[in-house]
Chain A
């Protein structure tokens, strides 16, 4: 199945800082989502982005499908951004299972 690697595994920021999270995947994809898991365990859908760039407030995401990676940008980080960020690509060949990486754990200090 598709392999997913996320980096960095851990990130600590001061409030107001910017950051970039990366997701590399091993196969071509027709679907990719970014999620934020809050401290209570809820997985919140951030972006559906199989290709191109999308923005939602302070967050934006870019997927370059031909080079098999996706980036999540967080600008002017806030303490409420703390949690774990997951990407979940879905391979366009074979099984269509959304596969999760190990995530990036983000802590934003006030």
Chain B
């Protein structure tokens, strides 16, 4: 069974530029999460989708971050304009109710803003 796929793996951009990350969850998983992990800290939830609807986006900085999950499968997380403090790993995860909502993570997208 294929795992959670993310791209790109690494991205370096200048501040005020924009960047987009893509995630393809495990087949059949209705719930998709985007987490931000800053070096030395635990992952922090940015947004949670159930199918193509948003469950929680209370910690998403909506002035610069946006996310969508069209058709309830793939998802895209965008940052525009980027700030230095956005340098982090962006982790996508998915889960299925059938497995007690066990979460599986992708390898992450490493962002450096210079």
Given A40, A45, A98, which contacts B45 in the complex, CB threshold below 8 Å? A98
Q: How large is the interface on A (under 10, 10 to 19, 20 to 34, 35 or more residues)?
A: 20 to 34
Residue of B nearest to A101 (CB): B42
Q: Does A73 contact B (CB under 8 A)?
A: no
Cα A56 to Cα B48 in complex, Å, equals: 30
Which A residues are within 8 Å of any B CB, using their own CB?
Answer: 4, 31, 33, 35, 40-45, 48, 50, 86, 88, 90, 95-103
Interface of B is mostly: strand
Cα A50 to Cα B110 in complex, Å, equals: 31
In contact, B48 and A97 (Cβ under 8 angstroms): yes
In contact, B41 and A102 (Cβ under 8 angstroms): yes
Cα A44 to Cα B3 in complex, Å, equals: 11
Q: Does B108 contact A (CB under 8 A)?
A: yes
Beyond known contacts A41-B108, A45-B104, A98-B33: 15 more, CB 8 A cutoff: A4-B42, A31-B100, A31-B101, A33-B102, A35-B105, A41-B37, A43-B91, A43-B108, A44-B105, A48-B102, A50-B100, A88-B103, A97-B45, A97-B48, A100-B35
In contact, B107 and A42 (Cβ under 8 angstroms): yes
In contact, A100 and B101 (Cβ under 8 angstroms): no
In contact, A45 and B42 (Cβ under 8 angstroms): no
Cα A88 to Cα B105 in complex, Å, equals: 13
